[in-house]
Each structure stands twice: as structure tokens, then as C-alpha cells.
Amino acid sequence: MINYTEKIPNNVDLGRDRVLQRALEHWQPAYLSWWYDMGPNESHNFEVYLRTAISVEPDGWAQFDYVKMPEYRWGIFLQPPDEKRQVNFGIHKGQPAWQDVPGEYRSILRRIVVTQGDTEPASVEQQKMLGLSCPSLYDLRNIFQVNVEEGRHLWAMVYLLHRYFGRDGREEAESLLARRSGDTDNPRILGAFNEPTPDWLAFYMFTFFTDRDGKFQLCALAESGFDPLARTCRFMLTEEAHHMFVGESGVSRIIQRTCEVMKENKIDAPADVRALGVIDLQTIQRYLNFHYSVTLDLYGSDVSSNAANYYTSGLKGRFRETKLEDDHVLRDAMYPVSEVVGDKINTKQVPALTSLNERLRDDYIEEIQAGVDRWQRVIDEAGIPFRLTLPHKGFHREIGNFTGHFISPTGEILSEEQWKAHEFDWLPSPKDYSYVQSLMSGRVAELGKFANWIAPPVKGVNGQPLDFQYVRFN
């Protein structure tokens, strides 16, 4: 169980390590001042119907109550240890899992923890303004839930930095509060986390696409031979599932509402759809193209010696590593990656070890495709002849083998001119953004009411009705 009587709730017996406890208590006010600055705008007095973990078991989410977000019980929760756990891949395979940082991997591990940690506050910063234009109290509560949990994910990574990386770790923990999403001088580490999230369609796309990248990275780190990292990530994954639910159901409800309006009024031209105050499916497709492509970049270069090192050292595994049936060393295995040769996209076999980023990206794409298929079903059930598609993997990429090429959603290699001529058929234009934002100019805060551009969800939170007071504004 989690100890909530301590200043920093935890299940790691923090009270027994005075030095660590003091260091974290010193970081805590800095974190809070970051939250007051960069957390959801003007929300500090709201009472929000939030869930708080009461134990780290998969069913440990029973606690729902009104909480002012600055008083949320952020803390340090790791999945309980498995004494018999081993390093399950790489050259140390079969050794007992490490309970401390192996000296030779110290700087790589620190880099991994910092890179993961940096994404957590970044997304809170990106979503800071959205509460002012929420489509309902239900949705407002959901974004706040996501935000406090991203805050807790930052705590999770900061605990590892403080506990295992000494002075360097403490300095990194401070830097995590100093960088800012989109800042020109001191930006967040990864590209997608410096993009704005200007409206609720972007928010749902982000939680569907980019939080799912989070899931895959956490799954790979949950395999780590460094046991505290693995156990931390396991618990973070239980929180991530909710973020992806918010994204998938949010987009789905927007699609549903658009389809209802199209059907009722027997219209299909985007201008007619917009005239009725809902988001045309073409714009939804362009948002999808954008969020998918910038998220694919987060997996890194198709061929990467870093990825090979992380694996060989036993620090970062593959998706579902222990369920895979092979040698878990990848000595001779090969894997296909794409490359642009002249005006063609070819596939070539490369050592599986160096293409682990690409493999994780492919695992991710498979799951994304299944989600897009579920969105498609909403359109099909409405009898509307429109297909939502994932663009080609090389579309709009800035990292890896496709960098510098202009590739259409269907995978043709274009000249820069051809690309420019179609750019805004494929990606949201400034006009698209201003249309979507024009729908979201204020907060819908009446009990049980939903903005015109989104359908209500199937059910409320924790068995509560849709007209429940999910947020009290005070």
C-alpha cells in the first residue's frame, strides 16, 4: 500500500533514507512552483473529481474524490519487487536484475531517465490553456486527470535521478523544471513535445498518438535490467492507459458528432459541414497525418547504434521482450528497414540489433492502425463513404531515413514544389486551425452539456452520470 501520511506519498519506504527524503523535500516546492506557473491555467482553486492511486496493484485505482490540483498527492510508486527477476536480454542475460546502477552504464541510464522524464512536464505545458475552452465538465476533468498524472510521471523519474544518480541526478532534476515546451532558448528535449497543442482536437490526437509513444517507450523500459526503472515504468503504464482512452474516445466522439450532422442534413462537402459547426472529416484526417508523423519521429533513427547499445547492455528491451521467442541477444537476426533510393522507397535487411528503433515504431504502428480502424467503424456505421487512413511511414518525417525527402501520404516521392502544392491538403493549414479554434472559444461548463462539435461519451467517470459536477469552480 501507499503511505499517504508522509509529506511525499510513497511505497519505497522513503522515511528510512533521510538524505534522499530531504533532497526530494527540497525539490518538492520547486515542483509546485513549476505547477503554479505551467500547470493548467487559472485552475488552482478548482475542485476536481480525480482518482488517486491507493495501491500499486492493477486494481488499486479505487480512490475518487474532489481534489484541488496543487494538493494532489503526487508521490513515488513502484511496482513491488520480484526477488527472482533477471536481466532478460543482451549480454548480461540471466544475471540477477540490477538493484543499483552498474557503473559502466551510469551516463547512458541517466540519459534514458532524463529523456523520458522531460516529456512528462512538457505535455502539461503544451496543454496549459485548454481548460479555458473545454467542451464539457467531463472532458475538463479528464484533461486535468491526465495533467496531474503526467506530473506524477515526472516525480517517478525524479525519484530515480535523486536516488541513483547522486549530484548529477539532482542537477538533472532541476533542469527538468527549467526547460519549457516550445521555448527557443531552453526547449524540451524531443521535437513533438515542443509543438503546440492549440485546441481539443489536437489534444485528443496527442493523447492518442503521442501518449501511445509514451506507452511503447515505457514498455521497452519496463523490460530494463535496471530493476528500479522497470518497476517504476510498470506502474506508470497503468496511468498511461487512461490517457490513451481519453484520446481515442475523444477523437471518436468528434467523428461521431460530425457523422450525425452529415447524415441528418444529407451533406458531405467540408464547407457545408463547417457551416453547421462541426469538424469536417477531411480536417480530422489532416490532424491525424500531423500527429502521426511527428510522433513517428520520436522513435529515433531507423538504424541506430545507440539503440543497439541500450539493448546489448540490458537497459532497454523490445516491446513485450519476455514474451518474444528468440535468443534475446539478436546476434544474427535481421530486420527490414526502408530507405529512399532515387525515386523509389526500398526495403533492405539490416542487423536487428541496430534497427530496434524501427522495430518499436512498427509495433506502435500496428496498435495505431487498430485504433484508426475503430474510428473508421464509426464512419461506416453512419453509412458515410469516407476512409480515414494512416499516411505512409515516410510522410512528413524529420528523423531517420526519410529525412529531407518529400513523400506523399500514399508513399510517392515528390519534388519540393509538388509537396508545397499539396502541403495543406495533407497537413492542417492555418485556416484549419483557426476554424477548429473558432469552435472552442469558451468553456462549456453547464452540468451534462456538451459542445456542439463533440458527442457525449458512452458513460461517465467512475459510474457517475454525465451531468455530474466533475469540476467545481469555486
Cβ at position 321, least distance to Fe ion in Å = 21
Q: Which is nearer to Fe ion, 371 or 394 (CB)?
A: 371
Q: Which is nearer to Fe ion, 234 or 243 (CB)?
A: 243
Residue 132 to residue 139: CA distance in whole angstroms: 12
β-sheet bridge partners, residue 3: 10
Residue 90 to residue 331: CA distance in whole angstroms: 9
Cβ at position 429, least distance to Fe ion in Å = 28
**Listed ranges 235-243, 279-287, 302-310, 340-348: which one lies at the site for Fe ion (CB under 5 A):** 235-243
Cβ at position 48, least distance to Fe ion in Å = 17
Q: Which is nearer to Fe ion, 120 or 139 (CB)?
A: 120
Record the cell numbers describing residue 142, joined without a space. Answer: 479528464
What is the end-to-end Cα distance of the chain in Å, rounded? 33
**Listed ranges 20-28, 81-89, 207-215, 424-432: which one lies at the site for Fe ion (CB under 5 A):** 207-215
Q: What is the largest CA-CA distance in the chain?
A: 68
# residues contacting Fe ion (CB under 5 A): 7
Q: Which of 128, 180, 243, 397 binds Fe ion (CB under 5 A)?
A: 243
| 406-425 footprint of Fe ion as x/- string (CB under 5 A) | --------------------
Q: Does residue 153 belong to the site contacting Fe ion (CB under 5 A)?
A: yes
Phi/psi for 93 (5° steps) reads: -50, 135
Residue 161 to residue 249: CA distance in whole angstroms: 35
Record the cell numbers describing residue 235, joined without a space. Answer: 506502474
Cβ at position 146, least distance to Fe ion in Å = 6
Q: Is 330 exposed, middle or buried (0-12, 13-18, 19+ CB in 10 A)?
A: buried
β-sheet bridge partners, residue 471: 48
Cβ at position 151, least distance to Fe ion in Å = 9
CB atoms within 10 A of CB 111: 15
| 100-129 footprint of Fe ion as x/- string (CB under 5 A) | --------------------x---------
**Listed ranges 56-64, 129-137, 144-152, 279-287: which one lies at the site for Fe ion (CB under 5 A):** 144-152
Closest CA to 169 of 178, 156, 180, 160: 160
Write b or e for each residue in 391-410: b if 16 or more Cβ atoms lie within 10 A of its Cβ, otherwise e. bbbbbbbebbbbeebbbbbe
Closest CA to 226 of 151, 313, 156: 313
Closest CA to 316 of 410, 217, 431, 422: 217
Record the cell numbers describing residue 22, joined without a space. Answer: 530531504
- Considering only residues 3-42, where is the footprint of Fe ion by CB under 5 A? none
Answer for the pair 170, 162: CB distance below 8 angstroms, yes or no.
Answer: yes
Cβ at position 126, least distance to Fe ion in Å = 12
Q: Which is nearer to Fe ion, 215 or 286 (CB)?
A: 215
Q: Which is nearer to Fe ion, 14 or 146 (CB)?
A: 146
Q: Does residue 211 belong to the site contacting Fe ion (CB under 5 A)?
A: yes
Helices (H), 266-277: 270-275
Cβ at position 207, least distance to Fe ion in Å = 7
- Considering only residues 250-309, where is the footprint of Fe ion by CB under 5 A? none
**Listed ranges 20-28, 152-160, 255-263, 410-418: which one lies at the site for Fe ion (CB under 5 A):** 152-160
Residue 82 to residue 451: CA distance in whole angstroms: 48
Q: Which is nearer to Fe ion, 235 or 395 (CB)?
A: 235
Cβ at position 176, least distance to Fe ion in Å = 13
Q: Does residue 212 belong to the site contacting Fe ion (CB under 5 A)?
A: no
CB atoms within 10 A of CB 29: 9
Cβ at position 156, least distance to Fe ion in Å = 9
**Listed ranges 165-173, 233-241, 322-330, 436-444: which one lies at the site for Fe ion (CB under 5 A):** 233-241
Q: Which is nearer to Fe ion, 148 or 273 (CB)?
A: 148
Q: Does residue 215 belong to the site contacting Fe ion (CB under 5 A)?
A: no
Residue 442 to residue 134: CA distance in whole angstroms: 7
Binding site for Fe ion (CB under 5 A): 120, 150, 153, 211, 214, 240, 243
